[in-house]
Amino acid sequence: MPTGSFIHKASPKLKIISLFILTICIFMIKSFWLYFYLLGFCWIILRFARLKAQFLWRGLKPLIFLFLITFVLNILFTEGTNVIWQFGIITITEEGLSQAFVFFMRVMLLVIFSTLLTLTTSPIELSDGIEECLRPLKYFKFPVHEFSLMLTIALRFIPTLVSEVDKIKRAQEARGANFSDGNIFKKLSNFIPLLIPLFIMSFKRADELAVAMESRCYAGGAGRTKYKRRHESFYDYLMFVIVLAVIFPVLVIYFKSFSGF
């Protein structure tokens, strides 16, 4: 969702690294309050990126069911001593509750942070950023460029595929096809008129893309230069330092808990 804010313009490489560090941090936290601290951080990013909370909600909505199940299972199956409530075989303990809460918050924060990344970074920037981050792996003969190209192509063609599915679905519906009725086997066979044209078109497109790339003399990543080169500016690093500063307390508290306090 481009809004042109400075978070959108920030270096994708540093954004990905920040997400990576934040992910590690999320798993270091054990205390209740620190989760709200990070949640507040999410809110601040959201504000600065000039995004509406409903975009985040759209990312979270499909996962709500999963969240609830893990929450309930954690409550029910965590063993503990401080029993709060007991009914038959159902026992709810304090440990269970806090465990459930911790898991819930962890998964939610993970989803929120990664949604924030994809909302503020275009797919092209994202795969460029990933390529930059993976560059060191080149020394281990990992095909970094090919990997990022695959990622770019895959991301690039998601919207195309979606609009194609939509188009073919409409076309087949106009011929009386039905995609919702019937039992599971009937439903699967209903999708054949959708899938076959989709496959045919994808193969055709892959072929066309290959020819188009070859006719522009594409020959893999070796010695290839970039059209748009991105250099991290002072502000990019400043933002990265701010992120580090925000998570600093988390680290301090984590390591303090080892040193006997």
Partner 1 sequence: MKKTLIELNKACFVYNQGLPTECAALTDVDFKINSGDIISLIGHTGSGKSTLVQLLNGQRRPSSGTVSWPGLDIGNAKKPDMKKLCTQVGMVFQYPEDQVFEETVYEDIAFGPEQLGKKPEEIERQVLKVAELMKITRETLNKSPFELSGGNLRKIAIAGVLVMEPKVLVLDEPMAGLDPTSCENFAHLMNDLKSNLDISIIMVSHNLEYAAELSDYIYCMENGRIAMAGTPREIFSNAEKLIEMQTGTVPSAACAHKLMKHGFKFQDIPITLDELVRGIVLNYAK
The CB-of-253 to partner 1 minimum distance in angstroms stands at 39
Contacting residue, 9, 138, 156, 167, with partner 1 by CB under 8 A = 167
The DSSP annotation for 33-93 comes to HHHHHHHHHHHHHHHHTT--HHHHHHHHGGGHHHHHHHHHHHHHH---SSEEEEETTEEEE
Contacting residue, 21, 60, 76, 201, with partner 1 by CB under 8 A = 201
180 binds partner 1 (CB under 8 A): no
Site for partner 1 in 213-232 (CB under 8 A): none
Q: How long a stretch of residues is the chain?
A: 261
Span near partner 1 by CB under 8 A; candidates 60-68, 82-90, 102-110, 168-176: 168-176
Nearer CB in complex with partner 1: 36/199: 199
The CB-of-171 to partner 1 minimum distance in angstroms stands at 4
* Closest listed residue to residue 39, CA positions, set 108, 118, 103: 108
Helix then strand then coil, % of the chain, to nearest 5: 75, 5, 25
Residue 187 one-letter amino acid: K
The CB-of-12 to partner 1 minimum distance in angstroms stands at 21
177 binds partner 1 (CB under 8 A): yes
